[in-house]
A and B are shown apart, each in its own frame.
Chain A
Amino acid sequence: MERESKIKVYPFYFLIPALVIYTVLFIIPSFIGFGFSLTNWNSMGSAMKFIGLDNFKEIFISNKTYMLFILNTLIFAVVTTIMKNIVGLLLALFFNEGLKTKQLLRTVFFLPVALSPLIIGLIFVSILNPVTGLLNSTLRVIGVGILEQQWLVDPKTAMLSVIGVEVWRLAGFNMAIYLAGLQMIPKSFYESASIDGAGVWRKFINITFPYLLPAITINMILNLIQGLKVFDLIYVLTKGGPGNTTGVLNTAVFEEFSSGRYGMGTAVGVVIFLLTSLTAYSALKLMRRGEAEVL
């Protein structure tokens, strides 16, 4: 078709509803947020005033709690990303061959992805309860009571527990992506490698791993973004406690919002925005370069 008739067949007004809704309620708030983050906007009655970078100074310099939140967010995002990928990959490699019920197993392991993080959080509040929880009572029953922990209550284990629940929730998603990646590897590659006398490990390094690189890239980036944005799960499990040990940026935003410090809350939101965009961008760049070198 010619250019002119194409515009007639595929008119601009088809774009308008999606464009307007998305711009007004998603993009504009993000940009206005940059403006609000430079104010002392609050619910305490004083008029909104421009205060420059004061909010950001408080976040990055004067108030150490925010740096702790940033650090916790990064730890949560990075550790969950690595663990979800390892567990997901192991499950995928294990399920990929010889199992008759592979599809059904995939459905079962993917199920937590479909559930609300809030609900999963509630369930694990019960499971991780130090006294009555299923985890500790199981440890006691099978005779390894020494491993009992205070899980969400103990500042030392709280972050680890939260990370564990997140891995439980999304390992199945990573597995499904790896399974899809494994299916794209031609079987003949492994056969000819066997003829050449390659062992399991050699096959993994020389065939499986390079072919899975795109899947690894996707999983790394999706998990990192998801991890940096975490809110529901932590809010339900610990509300950021005990003693801020599991506090992340998004729980901080809600705290500021609840106490009426809107300008500050928006500023923390801006930090999440910058952190997420920067991470996604550089992770993509880095991984693509890695892929190009291997393939």
Chain B
Amino acid sequence: MKKQKVINIIKEVFAWLLSLVVLIPLMLVVINSLKSQGEADLMNLRLPTSLHLDNYMMVIEKGKLIRSFLNSFLITSFSVVVSVIVSSMASFVLSRNRIKFNNVIYNYFLLGLIAPLNMIPVIRIMKMLHLLNNYHGIVLLYTALVIPFSVFLYYGFIKSVPQELDEAAMIDGCSSIQLFLSIVLPLLKPVTITVIVVNFLGVWNDFMVPLYMLNRSDKWTMTLAVYNFYGTFISKWNLVCANIIMTIAPILIVYVLGQKYIISGMVSGAVKG
């Protein structure tokens, strides 16, 4: 028994040494975001000789980051809200009333889990519908992109909510909307949190859509702003690192607060499929 204990301690130490492979690249960014430009040139793990918090101020000023941060926040929040509403409603009907037609629709949604988006025709269609270069266009596009996984997660979860509730509510004279909003939706809270968190990460982190679509800098999202900032200040790693930190800060907060929902949601979603 004692031997087993020692082995376990060695295992634990080794596991944490291994975790440095994940942590060091991130530590590297944090450390270098606080260095002077000369020190950051070397991009090593040595601690800064003096703290340069002014890097952050400089980045905010030169990178127009406040604007980009608000853009990202606005686009991400609205995409999350819209996708939660439309996906939960649709999944409710699809999961409850399994007629052939609904099964076909469900599978039609799942196609989007596999099929890639063909960007150039998307841009063409969005231009036709006057959805290019404005916020609501990009919000709708992101909603379309995350609907498949959201519907998939909701559909699986709704199965576990007893259907007798619906019948009781209908006997009490609820309308479908009342039933959904006041009885079913509150019971979907765990999966809703998962969908919110997963979609938040997906939209906030996306780079491809803004790269193709947002050519005016006042609409840039954080990822695009960081990328363009990097292009302009290519040798100033202290500034690039500060910019990176500001881009991933919201992600880290969401990740730490919602990690339970992220990992279990993504994993159980994948395993059930």
Residues of A that sit less than 8 Å from B by CB: 1, 3, 5-12, 14-15, 17-19, 21-22, 24-30, 32-33, 36, 91, 94-95, 98-101, 105-120, 122-124, 126-127, 129, 132-134, 137, 168, 172-173, 176-177, 180-181, 214-215, 218, 222, 225, 228-229, 231-232, 235-236, 250, 253-254, 256-257, 262, 265-266, 269-270, 272-273, 276-277, 280
Contacts and interface: CB of A to CB of B under 8 A. Distances in A.
Interface of B: 4, 7-8, 11-12, 15-16, 18-19, 21-26, 28-29, 41-45, 85-87, 89-90, 92-94, 96-97, 99, 105, 108-109, 111-112, 114-122, 124-126, 129, 140-141, 143-145, 147-148, 151, 166-167, 170, 176, 179-180, 201, 204-208, 211-212, 223, 226-227, 230, 237, 240, 244, 247-248, 251, 254-255, 259, 262-263, 266-268, 270-271, 273
Contacts of B122: 25-26, 29
Contacts of B240: 122
A9 to B, nearest CB: 6
A168 B18 CA distance: 12
A174 B50 CA distance: 40
19 contacts: A9-B170, A11-B176, A18-B90, A22-B147, A25-B143, A26-B122, A30-B121, A33-B121, A101-B16, A107-B259, A114-B201, A119-B226, A119-B248, A120-B25, A133-B43, A137-B42, A225-B114, A262-B120, A272-B118
B217 to A, nearest CB: 17
A30 B126 contact: no
B105 A118 contact: no
Given A8-B176, A272-B118, 9 more contacts: A9-B96, A14-B89, A15-B93, A17-B85, A24-B129, A25-B140, A111-B26, A116-B251, A119-B223
A133 to B, nearest CB: 7
Contacts, number: 260
Nearest to B179: A9
A111 B15 contact: no
A238 B149 CA distance: 30
Contacts of B244: 119, 122-123
Interface of B is mostly: helix
Given A122-B230, A214-B271, A254-B212, A9 B247 contact: no
| Most chain A beta carbons < 10 A, residue from B118, B144, B145 | B118
B170 to A, nearest CB: 6
Given A15-B105, A133-B43, A119 B247 contact: yes
Contact of B8 (A99, A106, A109): A99
Contacts of A108: 19, 22-23
Given A25-B144, A177-B271, A276 B19 contact: no
Contacts of A26: 112, 115, 117, 122, 144-145, 147
Contacts of B141: 25
A42 B127 CA distance: 15
A58 B271 CA distance: 40
Contact of A10 (B92, B108, B114, B121): B92
* 4 closest Cβ pairs, A-B complex: A116-B205, A25-B144, A269-B118, A18-B90
A123 B268 contact: no
Contacts of B97: 6-7, 9-10
Contacts of B15: 94-95, 99, 101, 105
B41 A132 contact: yes
A220 to B, nearest CB: 12
Contacts of B16: 101, 105
A114 B12 CA distance: 24
Contacts of B7: 98
Given A17-B86, A133-B43, A29 B166 contact: no
Contacts of A113: 266
B93 A176 contact: no
B147 A123 contact: no
A14 B259 contact: no
Contacts of A214: 271
